[in-house]
Amino acid sequence: MTTLLRRCLACTLATLLLWPSLAAASGSVDAAHRIVNTGGSPDNLKQWSDKDNAHWHEYEGETFTNRTGGSLVAGDVAALDSANDSSVVLSDVVSSAKKFVVAQASISNTAAGEFARSGVVSIKATGAIARGEYVRKSATTKTVETTGVTALDAVPPPRGALGIALAAAAGGFVTGLLYGQTVIGPVLDVIGPQSPIANTVAETTLYSVSIPVSALGTLGEVLARVRGHISGTGTTGDCTWRMKYGATTMVTVVQQISSAAGDDLATSPFNIAFALLGAGATNAQRAHVQQFLSDVTGGTTVQLTPVQKRGTAAEDSTAVKVLAITVQFSAAAAGNTVTLEHGMTTIER
């Protein structure tokens, strides 16, 4: 018993005597998850333990080789490289479905370094991002941007979402929770109520969304649906609706908002389904539009008129192109308004 007690006391004394040496020998966790002595003022055991715990529990890190063609700094966003083992490259396509990671230090081109693949990280951002919004890859190099969609019980994350903003940001950096996997579900974009378009004769975009590279392919389909209300109580005239893809106006619909003075269209709903289809090649598309509009028909009768039209385009869908729905009044008046209440775009196949 006495021998055992002596041994325990000796062990305790040795630990106390060695504590400064252990502290001096400890350092930080490097990109390969090894403990290194940084020199100068190394971590003590508690500091090292805190760093090690943060390293493993704040985010999940992995070592990749930077093949972006330039240096990266902490917060830069890069995509996994399919052409090289354990490497990353630049990919600056909005809503890309690629797997993205975030640099955790300055990493020279062709050098290996640590990247976060999931968890809580500081991410380089562009534009305003609200707390709780889903974020996606931006067209601005090495950054993320807001999807415009807030995480809610009944709202699915949009296609291309990488994670959720944990705090508001106005460019610079945003603190976000990375999923570890990019959302590749059918929902590309969702938008809620917008300010009315009123008192103008200028063609104005009611709804638009960027269609990712090759989302259409040769036989794909993208479906945009918008709902809202229109008022023509300002003057006689009409409202022209245009459905566009890239630089091409594929379908035009003219809605009568009044047939005579004092016979104006009161606030009434509209419902538009704009199906954009690949027509057998990446530079050939068709549009099928179904539009329900309230219309004045010679006198005081207002009815809901179904309109179905089709059109074509020859845009290069292997590049990002914008799908848009615009409106244009023939006369400016405060009472001539179009208001978007909801818009959603899905990739059907």
Q: Which residues contact 301 (CB under 8 A, 6 or more apart)?
A: none
pTM score = 0.62
User: Of 22-31, 153-162, 213-222, 269-278, which gets the smallest average pLDDT?
Assistant: 22-31
pLDDT at 180 over 50: yes
| Mean pLDDT for the chain overall | 82
Q: What is the pLDDT of residue 43?
A: 58
Q: What is the pLDDT of residue 236?
A: 64
For residues 344 and 227, is the Cβ–Cβ distance under 8 A? no
Q: What is the pLDDT of residue 215?
A: 82
Q: What is the pLDDT of residue 22?
A: 45
pLDDT at 91 over 50: yes
**How many Cβ atoms are within 10 Å of 115's Cβ, its own excluded?**
27
**Burial readout 172-186 (b: 16 or more C-beta within 10 A, e: otherwise):** ebbebbbbbebbeee
Q: What is the pLDDT of residue 334?
A: 83
Tokens of 165: 């903003």
Q: What is the pLDDT of residue 298?
A: 46
Q: What is the pLDDT of residue 17?
A: 43
Distance between CA 112 and CA 73 in Å, rounded?
Answer: 13
Q: What is the pLDDT of residues 254-311, one digit of tens each?
A: 887 765 544 455 667 889 999 999 999 999 999 999 988 766 444 444 556 678 999 9
Q: Which of 275, 266, 276, 272 is nearest to 292 (CA)?
A: 272
Local confidence band at 195 (pLDDT 50, 70, 90 cut-offs): very high
Local confidence band at 86 (pLDDT 50, 70, 90 cut-offs): very high
pLDDT at 21 over 90: no
Q: What is the pLDDT of residue 38?
A: 47
Q: What is the pLDDT of residues 92-140, one digit of tens each?
A: 988 788 899 999 999 999 999 999 999 999 999 999 999 999 999 998 9
Tokens of 167: 């705090």
**Beta strand pairing status for 59-66 and 87-89?**
parallel
Helix (H, G, I), strand (E, B) or coil at 57: helix
pLDDT at 1 over 50: no
Q: What is the pLDDT of residue 47?
A: 61
Q: What is the pLDDT of residue 231?
A: 82
Tokens of 146: 């807001």
pLDDT at 37 over 60: no
**Alpha-carbon separation of residue 214 from 29, 145, 277, 284, 315 (angstroms):** 41, 21, 12, 12, 12
Share of the chain above pLDDT 70, in %: 76
Q: Which run of H or of E encompasses 3?
A: helix 2-25
For residues 61 and 115, is the Cβ–Cβ distance under 8 A? yes
Q: Which of 317, 337, 322 is nearest to 274 (CA)?
A: 322
Q: What is the pLDDT of residue 344?
A: 92
Q: What is the pLDDT of residue 48?
A: 58
Fold of 187-347: Jelly Rolls (2.60.120)
User: Of 228-242, 252-266, 306-320, which gets the smallest average pLDDT?
Assistant: 252-266
Q: What is the pLDDT of residue 5?
A: 45
Rounded to 5°, angle at Cα 276 from 273 and 278 = 155
- Mean pLDDT over 244-261 rounds to 83
Q: What is the pLDDT of residue 190?
A: 84
Local confidence band at 235 (pLDDT 50, 70, 90 cut-offs): low
pLDDT at 248 over 50: yes
User: What DSSP state is assigned to residue 184?
Assistant: -
Q: What is the pLDDT of residue 303?
A: 55
Q: Which residues contact 91 (CB under 8 A, 6 or more apart)?
A: 78, 79, 98, 100, 137
For residues 282 and 216, is the Cβ–Cβ distance under 8 A? yes
Extents of the domains making up the chain:
60-178, 187-347
Which class for 297: exposed (0-12), middle (13-18), buried (19 or more C-beta within 10 A)? Answer: exposed
| Bridge partners (DSSP) listed for residue 254 | 240
Q: Which run of H or of E encompasses 54?
A: helix 45-57
Which class for 90: exposed (0-12), middle (13-18), buried (19 or more C-beta within 10 A)? Answer: middle
